[in-house]
Structure 1
Amino acid sequence: MTRQADQRLSEVLETLETSLDGDRVSVEHIVETLGAKSFPALILIFSLIAVSPASAIPGVTTLVAVTVFLLAVQMMAHRDRVWLPQIITRQEISRAMLSKGLRAVRRPTAKVEGLLKARLTFLCRRPWIWLPLSLIAVLTLFMPFMELVPASGSIAAAAIALCAAGLLTRDGLLVILSALLLAVVPVAVYLGFSG
C-alpha cells in the first residue's frame, strides 16, 4: 500500500466534487482526478456511486461492479497503476446525479471519519489485505444480479465502501467489520431473493 492510503475520506470526496465540469462525468475523469495509483480511493468513490441516486439508472450498478472488480483484482496483484479498458473509461454518468450523491454522503462521512484512525494496520498490508479484497471481488460478481432486487445493490456497495474507507485510512478494525458485512450481504440477498 502506498502512503496515499493516509488520505481523509472528506478530502477524496472534495477532490472529486471540485473537479466536476460539464453535464457528464466519465470514468476516465474520475480515475485521472483521484490518481491512477489510489486504488482504495477509487474503490471508495465507485462504490459510493452505486449507493447514490445514480444507482437508480439501469446499468450503473453493473458498471460499478465491473470497475470495482478490476480495481480489487489489480490491487491484489500489487499493480502500481490502475488499468481499465476503454469500454469502461468512456462510460459517463450524469454530473448532477454524481454531485447529488457526493453531497449526500459528505455529512455522514465527516461524522464517521472522526472515529477512524490507523490501527491494526497489518490488516491493510499483504498478505492480510487479500482477504477483504477477495470478498470485495466476489461480492461484485453478485451485484449485476442485485439490480433485480431493489436497494440490494446499494447495500452491497455500501459494504464495499466501508471496506475501502478502512483501507484508505489504514483502519484495520473497520476492515474487519466490513469484511464480515461483505461475507454476509450475498447470503442475505440470496435469502431475500429466494424467499
Structure 2
Amino acid sequence: MGELKEEGEREPTEPHNLIELLDTVEAIETPSGKLRFDDVLEATGRRSFGPLLLLAGMVTLAPVISGIPGVPSLMGFFTFLVCGQLLIGRRTFWLPAWLRNRELSSDKVHKGLGWMHKPSRMIDRLVRHRISFMTGTRGMQLTALACFVLAMAMPPMELVPLTVNIAGVALTLFGLAIMARDGLLSILGFIVTGTSLFTIFYNLL
C-alpha cells in the first residue's frame, strides 16, 4: 500500500530520504524562474504516498515558502486529495490541472529548502527500519486518516502563527516514516499532529 505503482513500474528518481528529496527538487531546471508543482511531482514520483506526503510536509515546514499567502492551504488541499484517495483504495493519485500548474518562484523554493540540508543529513542518519506494524497496511490507513484531518485544519492555521509549521513537521515525519519504514517516526507524527490540532483549536475557540 505504501508503494502505489503498477506491477513492473518504478520511477527511478523517486527519493528515499530527506536529502534525496531536497536534491531532486533543487535539480529541477526552471529557465522561466518559476517552478511548476507538476514539475516537482514529475521529479519526485506521482504514485508513492511517502514522497508525496514528505514533499507537502517540507514545503509547509519551510518558513520562506509557507509564509507565502495561500501556500499552506494549497498544501492542505494537496494532502487532502492524496490521503482521501489512499483511504478509498486508489492505486494512482489524481490531481486537478489547476493544482498541478500552480507556480512558485524557484528562488524562494531553493532558499526555503536550502536551510534544511544540514538538519536533514542528521535526521537521515538516525532513521532506520523499526516498529514495522506502524507502517504496515493498518498503520498506513491511520496515517492517511490523521493527515486527512490535519489537511482540513491547515487553511485556518494560516491565521495562527507557527501552527502551519507544526503541521509541516507532522507531515514530514509521516512521509519519512513511510519511506524508511520507521514506525518510531510515525508515532512521533501522531503526537505532533495532536499537538498541532490542539494548538489551532485552542487559539481559534
TM (norm. structure 1) is: 0.92
* Equivalent residue, structure 1, for 2:121: 110
Q: Counterparts in 2 of 1:141-180, with a 5 A limit?
A: 141-180=152-191
Shift of 1:74: 2.2
Secondary structure class of the residue paired with 2:35: strand
Structure 1 residue runs of 5 or longer lacking an equivalent are: none
Q: Which runs of structure 1 show a deviation greater than 6 angstroms over 4 or more consecutive aligned residues?
A: 3-6
* Equivalent residue, structure 2, for 1:27: 37
Is the 1:62–1:144 contact (alpha carbons within 8 Å) kept by the matching residues of 2? yes
Residues 114-135 of structure 1 show CA distances to partners (whole Å, capped at 9, x for unaligned) of 1110112222121221112111
* Equivalent residue, structure 2, for 1:123: 134
Deviates more, 1:12-21 or 1:163-172: 12-21
Shift of 1:150: 1.6
Secondary structure class of the residue paired with 2:104: strand
Q: One-letter code of the match for 1:44?
A: L
Which of 3, 7, 13 pairs up with 2:16? 7
TM (norm. structure 2) is: 0.87
Q: One-letter code of the match for 1:193?
A: L
Same amino acid, percent of matched pairs: 28
Q: Does 1:193 align with 2:188?
A: no
Larger relative helix fraction: 1
Shift of 1:56: 1.3
Is the 2:166–2:192 contact (alpha carbons within 8 Å) kept by the matching residues of 1? no
* TM-aligned CA distance change 1:122 to 1:144, over 3 Å: same
For 1:44 and 1:20, the matched residues in 2 are separated by 21
For 2:139 and 2:53, the matched residues in 1 are separated by 18
For 2:122 and 2:114, the matched residues in 1 are separated by 14
For 2:158 and 2:18, the matched residues in 1 are separated by 27
Is the 1:116–1:169 contact (alpha carbons within 8 Å) kept by the matching residues of 2? yes
For 1:15 and 1:26, the matched residues in 2 are separated by 14
Q: Please give the root-mean-square deviation of Cα atoms over the aligned residues, in Å.
A: 1.9
Is the 2:66–2:72 contact (alpha carbons within 8 Å) kept by the matching residues of 1? yes
Give the total of aligned pairs: 194
Q: Does 1:43 align with 2:39?
A: no
* Equivalent residue, structure 2, for 1:91: 102
Secondary structure class of the residue paired with 1:127: helix
Shift of 1:6: 8.2
Shift of 1:105: 1.2
